Structure 1
Amino acid sequence: MNKQAQIIAIAGGGSTYTAGIVKALLMKGEDFPVAEIRLYDIDKARQDKVAILVDYVVKTHAPQVKLIVTTEPEVAFSQADFVFAQIRVGQYKMRESDEKIPLRHGCVGQETCGAGGLAYGMRTIFPMIALIDFMERYAKATCWMLNYSNPAAIVADAVNRLRPNARVLNICDMPVAIQRNLANILGVNRYALDVEYFGLNHYGWFTSVKVDGEEKIPQLREHIQKFGMLTEKEVENACHSEPSWIKTFSNTQPLMQMFPEYIPNTYLQYYLMADEIVAHSNPDRTRANEVMENREKKMFDMIEQIRLSDGKVEDKFHVGVHGEFIADVAMSMAYDLRQKWLVIIPNNGLIKGLPDDAMVEVPALLGRDKVYPIQVGNVSHFYQGMLQQQLMSEKCLVDAALEGSYEKALQAFTLNKTIPSASVARQILDEMIEANKGYWPELK
């Protein structure tokens, strides 16, 4: 069967992830033919640099693919089949602020969880709506936006309220990264795993992990309780290039020892081990600094090497699950494959006890024009309580953004499990309002 070649627009073309996404797309070859790739970003200078690396990837793997680099929405989105959204409003400078302000008050400093995630969400809601409007104005009527932009739970809730009929599917690569680690522990390819999962984005649990129909949760539970979500070799060698990720996957060990029923999303460490996370955090050097000093610097070094025609750079970056996952999702939808992936969609009774308009992360079969979710059913009191508290914190944050309400923002920060009291919530909120001038809607 001849497959129609796709036109892919990448919003947030200046991201450090862009080249990996493009490489993942092109490596699918005839299984997912691509006619054009369009990079779109409001930061022309940064995107032009990243485009040097992307152009290298395209010429190396699929020189027939047309690459367009633009700051014009009409050029980027006209007749597009997919828009991949990965915007970071405020870039790493504001991420650093999101992480360091809470830490000054003894609270978790993380880009998508806790106060940092609430701040990031407030910045991202309206730029995401603008992107959706560009897509609906210029792209094909059948175009899907696959959204990676964080914090996905807050963004998804706002989009569901403001553009409920838009063809937007919110996704996250963290569950896929966890599946990669679980597959490594089991000694299989991650595509061999058949998983069941429930929760909110960055706030969920794997209830089943099967290989060839055989349940592997008992084996994984035993391993994680001893070594965390790492292989024994990784524990011995600490071989991950970024120590913070070793710590993240190691922290599943105490989580699993305390709550052994299901396998947790790694982000639950920020909510269930907040005191330990803060105690081991450096308020002067957070994950934002680590990314800028490592992944981002490495990317710009590669770009400079290409610009100087100084040999090949292919061996210096790889396609991770971030790029693979969004390419897999797009392929399933483009050709109505109805493959099973974890996605963020309206609850509508999938998880009993949660509102229908809760944006939940669950397995679904992905087709061309429809997402077919898989029912979760009842969850026990502990998980229900956790989900309700986090959900209402996020919903209050969206209320605050849409209504311009200081009180609703304070409610969101107060409800968040990483913040110990309303007085601390108010101190953090007030400091974040100052830091986010020009990004947040005015709160009264």
Structure 2
Amino acid sequence: MKVAVIGGGSTYTPELVSGLSAERERIDVTELVLHDVDAERREVVGGMARRMLARQGFAGSLEVTDDLDRAVDGADFVLLQIRVGGQAARLSDETVPLLCGCVGQETTGGGGFAKALRTVPVVLHVADRVRELAAPDAWIVDFTNPVGIVTRALLDHGHRAIGLCNVAIGLQRWAARLLEVEPDRVLVDQVGLNHLTWVRALRVDGEDVLPRLLAERGAEVAAHVGLREALVGELGVIPSYYLRYFYCHDEVVEQLRHAEPRAAVVAALERELLAQYADPTVDEKPVLLERRGGAFYSEAATALIASLTAGTEDIQVVDVYNGSTLVGLAADDVVEVPAKIGREGAEPIPQLPLAPELLGLAQHVAAYERLTAEAAVTRDPVTARKALLTHPLIGQDLIVDDLLEGLVAAERRRGGELVAL
């Protein structure tokens, strides 16, 4: 099996490499290619990956390259984990919206919008080369945020793709610790859109323990997702922690205005991580990586690859076309739901309808994602404005104009273009 990692210079890569190597019994990787456009990151992360693989007795080949065609040629799996514009772009995504009184976050609201417009064209270019050069039945697995919009763009353009996020596996591992059971006994019934999900059932050995968990450990659940216990109790579900941006918008905006931007924190962490990776004596992923975010990322990735390869039909939470899974959303909306994973892909598990208080928000954001995916391809400013006008965290005419102008100006200062203003 050949696996190509696009964005292989990411500081996440050592965790992914470690996971792929550790799962040799389930995933027979004979060729691993790390592709990145950043020469320094390629050299540092590639060297770290090489030492890790040697320590783990990896018998396959590792190649590090900036040649996209070479990376994807003959690949069975192409993993996307890119950040177009780097942490500098993330910084403007987080700070420009705050000037307009909107949440500044890299995947949600105006920041997520800018990231999508910057990312989708690059991802589609990669996917076109995959279609041309990779194995006939190759899978594209997308970790690149915003996962829902990027996956939608891939599927809309006919690519064989599945989106993957670490929120569900993170909740599973947290719940297992709280309940003092092994993680593989816990099934998370998480539904919605990427970064807009609710856990409506939490099954341990088939029994739904969510009502008891909310009744007996409600304060701990609420603290974990950053919401008030009373709100979580009223909803009767576990919202994704990204729902804070919707349910507590004004409070979060005020906090963000007085906090160091996450982009600056991550940039400092990455500098320190890359310095550790450059040390020729380091051949294990450092503890510092746990502070980077993306917990259990490699485990989710390897589990998905293993199931797609072996056709195990186990249940994992992934991002796929809705079809008829969630009533009230369009068939071609990309949803994040539990699905059976087999050789032919992901088959979503049938779901009960979303409650009105959940469905209404999901419909709003799904409409925004549809328009944003279109704007990312067409670069049409009117479509871009419609997308922002549709987003429930923005949605006002003058704010839309100010926000779009601010995001476009910040992108131009970096030499890029979001829309044709």
TM category (shorter chain) comes to over 0.9
* Residues 100, 284 of structure 1: 8 Å contact kept: no
Partner of 1:300: 274
The alignment status of 1:116 with 2:91, answered yes or no, reads no
One-letter identity of the residue aligned with 2:219? K
SS at match of 2:250: helix
Deviations 1:178-226 (A, max 9, x none): 2221222111232221222210110011111111122110232135531
1:156 corresponds to which of 148, 151, 154? 151
The alignment status of 1:175 with 2:149, answered yes or no, reads no
SS at match of 2:75: coil
Residues 265 and 305 of structure 1, relative CA distance in 2, 3 Å threshold = same
Q: CA deviation at 1:87?
A: 0.9
Residues 284 and 333 of structure 1, relative CA distance in 2, 3 Å threshold = same
Q: CA deviation at 1:170?
A: 1.1
Size of the aligned set, in residue pairs, is: 415
Deviations 1:53-80 (A, max 9, x none): 1112111113412110011122211211
Distance 2:320 2:91 in 1: 29
RMSD of aligned residue pairs (Cα, Å): 2.0
Partner of 2:209: 216
Superposed counterparts of 1:36-75, under 5 Å: 36-75=31-70
SS at match of 2:132: helix
* Residues 225, 256 of structure 1: 8 Å contact kept: no
1:132 corresponds to which of 118, 127, 130? 127
The alignment status of 1:347 with 2:319, answered yes or no, reads no
Deviations 1:238-294 (A, max 9, x none): xxxxxxxxxxx3514447436432111111111111111112114562111111122
* Residues 411, 418 of structure 2: 8 Å contact kept: no
Distance 1:358 1:403 in 2: 19
Q: CA deviation at 1:442?
A: 3.5
Distance 1:378 1:51 in 2: 46
One-letter identity of the residue aligned with 1:180? R
Superposed counterparts of 1:351-370, under 5 Å: 351-370=326-345
Same amino acid, percent of matched pairs? 28
Partner of 1:440: 417
Superposed counterparts of 1:247-262, under 5 Å: 249-254=224-229, 256-257=231-232, 259-262=234-237
Partner of 2:138: 143
Superposed counterparts of 1:279-294, under 5 Å: 279-282=254-257, 285-294=260-269
Q: CA deviation at 1:430?
A: 0.5
Partner of 2:299: 324
* Residues 224, 256 of structure 1: 8 Å contact kept: no
* Residues 228, 253 of structure 1: 8 Å contact kept: no
Distance 2:314 2:66 in 1: 34
Q: CA deviation at 1:317?
A: 5.6
1:29 corresponds to which of 24, 27, 48? 24
Partner of 1:89: 84
1:79 corresponds to which of 74, 83, 86? 74
The alignment status of 1:334 with 2:334, answered yes or no, reads no
Q: CA deviation at 1:23?
A: 0.2
The alignment status of 1:99 with 2:94, answered yes or no, reads yes
Distance 2:324 2:25 in 1: 38
Distance 2:119 2:363 in 1: 23
Using the TM superposition, name which of 390-399 and 343-352 deviates more.
Answer: 390-399
Residues 433 and 330 of structure 1, relative CA distance in 2, 3 Å threshold = same
One-letter identity of the residue aligned with 1:316? V
Distance 1:124 1:392 in 2: 19
Residues 290 and 282 of structure 1, relative CA distance in 2, 3 Å threshold = farther
Distance 2:327 2:131 in 1: 33
The alignment status of 1:401 with 2:396, answered yes or no, reads no
Q: CA deviation at 1:45?
A: 2.3
One-letter identity of the residue aligned with 2:265? E
SS at match of 2:279: helix
* Residues 196, 363 of structure 1: 8 Å contact kept: yes
Distance 1:312 1:432 in 2: 40
Q: CA deviation at 1:117?
A: 0.3
Extract unaligned runs of 5+ from structure 1: 1-5, 231-248
